[in-house]
Amino acid sequence: MMHPSAPAADAPVHARNPGMALDLDWVAGVQANTSAIERRIAALPGRRSVKKDWQAAWLCRAISLIDLTTLAGDDTAGRVARLCAKARQPVRLDLLAALGMEGLTVGAVCVYHDMIAPARAALAGSAIPIAAVSTGFPAGLSPLATRLAEIEASVAAGAAEIDIVISRRHVLTGDWQALYDETRAMRAACGPAHMKAILATGELGSLRNVARASLVAMMGGADFIKTSTGKEPVNATLPVSLTMLRAIRAYGERTGHAVGFKPAGGISKAKDALVYMALMREELGLPWLSPALFRFGASSLLGDIERQLEHHLSGAYSAANRHPMG
């Protein structure tokens, strides 16, 4: 059922971003035209939409881009096992069969360090990677040595991806050297694991700070840059996302290295996922519509996508309890 106009299902695996020497002149010259960014975003939802089979295809692609996440203080091994079961079979089997999408899985499962072991057990035999939040998540205010040790422990426990958080104070005070040095050290601690740098954009004060922090994180070797922890009052927004995507494009043009993007927090509706995907396609191109370069940090998003897919097939909306998380 997948339409040929859907995003390519199997994009090539991209080489990791090795980073580069800190270029303070480049950082200082970065600007963000807030009014222009807002005009660009305001026009996006009305101009870019997909319908019927095209929409179903894009929503299936969106599922493969989800980092299915549980980051609650009351997480248990049982909850993580249920989440992993949903990751392995994100949509009811009858719907997947009708869509011709048997075998579809999410992009990764994202958990705290203590939940890596139950996640590994629940995902055994699958190709779904485990992402662990680290470095004193969500505030990132523990001593650097402690944060680096936390990264190393999570990699040793089996995390293939590490979501680190930057020190916001370095951005707010313009201490780009400190931010760069910290990011480089974290990248080294990640070893073979891919590093996603969470900028906590809702706490950075301006889009210009977001653009500069994005650039420094990539110079430091981030394989992905991520909007938010999901714990800030303001998480992923389209203006912030556009700012970060433009930084990714500039970095790629300068260095030849592709860096991924992960919006997180507040993305719970299928229609919102489609808008983000349209933005990615327009700003960075089809290669970024793959798990190698784009992830949604979400959990409730999956339930709404499954509900929309059932509506596409049956013509009726079902109750949310027909699409449990596990």
* Active site (catalytic) residues: 163, 226, 262
Torsion of CA 130, 220, 218, 183, to 10 degrees: 50
* Cα angle for residues 265, 286, 16 (degrees, 5° grid): 70
Question: What span, in angstroms and rounded, lies between the C-alpha atoms of 77 and 62?
Answer: 27
In angstroms, the Cα distances linking 24 to 28, 176, 219, 256 are 6, 8, 11, 19
